[in-house]
């Protein structure tokens, strides 16, 4: 009986994985997908894939285009957050401030939230250049060579930082990458003192970035505001100016957005030492 339960559990997990794979394929496809294409994704035969799609249709996640005998994601799958979800409200609250950051720095401005240990872009503003490091909503850049990575590390205790990234040496992407724990720790302490975190050609030659934390009223860090551009837009002599612009915008959003308060129980980390000037 135990083996039967284990087998059933593995089978259910496999079905769930196939369902998510099919939904992911539909969401990212540029057109409705035929049954044969989805069968390749689910690795099931046509009848098994059909049963899976019927279940997802009944759940309101998939729509069948009868005219073309194809499938596409539903509104629920494409836009799972309601218009008045606090994350949507935060995006709207940050709109003018992101425009201000973009105009001041001439770089791309962005808003991130921290979902556990994941950094997620929920809004951004382009300037004259559309060059951007944000190809996906989830940021996967190394913690030690990105401004929001350093900011996130600053929300952790020393031992937590060591557990997450180790004691080094870290991968060196350019001659300017902080590759030792001591160098990185010095950068984190500088960021805490200034109220913003920066990188200058540490991940890519020619790229610079500054990030400042968003605080909920209880002192919890829920995300960051960022400016990312070329080192010509934000050279070493402008880093403090650009960092201050981002810090002031993040501080205003932290203090004045009702959605920040609504998100404090869902997002972020506590920090013992807040950057100067933070709420």
Binning pLDDT at 50, 70 and 90, where does residue 130 land? low
* Token digits of residue 187: 């950068």
pLDDT over 70 (residue 274): no
Burial (0-12, 13-18, 19+ Cβ within 10 Å), 219 = middle
High-pLDDT (> 70) share of the chain, %: 88
Q: Determine which helix (DSSP H) or strand (DSSP E) holds 176, and give its type and residue range.
A: none
CATH number given to 86-270: 3.30.450.40
Confidence band (pLDDT; 50, 70, 90) for 266? Answer: confident
Instruction: Provide mean pLDDT across the span 234-238.
Output: 95
- Average pLDDT, stretch 57-86? 91
Average pLDDT over the chain, rounded to an integer:
88
**Distance between CA atoms of 182 and 231, rounded to whole angstroms?**
25
Residue 150's pLDDT is 97
Q: What is the pLDDT of residues 78-110, one digit of tens each?
A: 888 888 899 999 999 999 999 999 999 999 999
HSE-up of residue 247 (Cα within 13 Å, Cβ side):
21
Mean pLDDT of 139-155: 93
Closest to 142 measured CA to CA, from 115, 166, 108, 109 = 166
Cα gap 48→57, rounded to integer Å: 14
Domain boundaries, the chain: 2-78, 86-270
- pLDDT tens digits for range 200-222: 999 999 999 999 999 999 888 99
Concatenating the DSSP letter of every residue in 72-132 gives: EE-HHHH--S-TTSHHHHHHHHTHHHHHHHHHHHSSEEEEEEEETTEEEEEEEE--S----
Instruction: Write the Ramachandran bin of 168: left for phi over 0, alpha for psi from -120 to 50, otherwise beta.
Output: left
CATH dotted code for 2-78: 1.10.10.10
- pLDDT surpassing 60 at residue 227: yes
Q: What letter does residue 175 receive in the DSSP assignment?
A: T
- Judge if pTM exceeds 0.75: yes
Local structure of 45: helix, strand or coil: coil
């Amino acid at each position: 009986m135990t083996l039967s339960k284990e087998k059933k559990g593995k089978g259910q997990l496999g079905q769930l994985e196939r369902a998510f794979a099919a939904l992911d394929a539909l969401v990212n496809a540029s057109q409705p997908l035929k049954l044969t294409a989805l069968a390749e994704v689910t690795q099931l035969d046509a009848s098994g894939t059909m049963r899976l799609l019927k279940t997802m249709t009944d759940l309101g996640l998939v729509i069948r285009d009868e005219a073309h005998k194809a499938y596409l994601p539903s509104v629920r799958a494409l836009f799972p957050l309601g218009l008045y979800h606090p994350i949507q409200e935060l995006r709207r609250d940050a709109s003018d401030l992101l425009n201000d950051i973009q105009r001041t720095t001439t770089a791309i401005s962005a808003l991130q939230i921290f979902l556990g240990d994941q950094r997620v872009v929920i809004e951004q503003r382009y300037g004259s250049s559309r060059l951007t490091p944000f190809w996906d909503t989830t940021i996967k850049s190394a913690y030690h060579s990105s401004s929001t990575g350093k900011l996130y590390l600053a929300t952790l205790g020393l031992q937590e930082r060591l557990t997450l990234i180790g004691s080094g040496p870290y991968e060196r992407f350019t001659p300017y990458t902080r590759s030792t724990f001591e160098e990185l720790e010095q950068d984190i302490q500088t960021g805490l003192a200034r109220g913003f975190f920066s990188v200058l050609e540490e991940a890519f030659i020619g790229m610079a970035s500054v990030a400042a934390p968003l605080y909920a009223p209880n002192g919890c860090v829920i995300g960051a505001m960022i400016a990312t551009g070329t080192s010509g837009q934000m050279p070493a002599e402008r880093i403090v100016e650009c960092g201050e612009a981002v810090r002031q915008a993040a501080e205003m959003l932290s203090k004045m957005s009702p959605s920040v308060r609504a998100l404090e129980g869902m997002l972020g980390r506590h920090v013992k030492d807040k950057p100067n000037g933070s709420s």
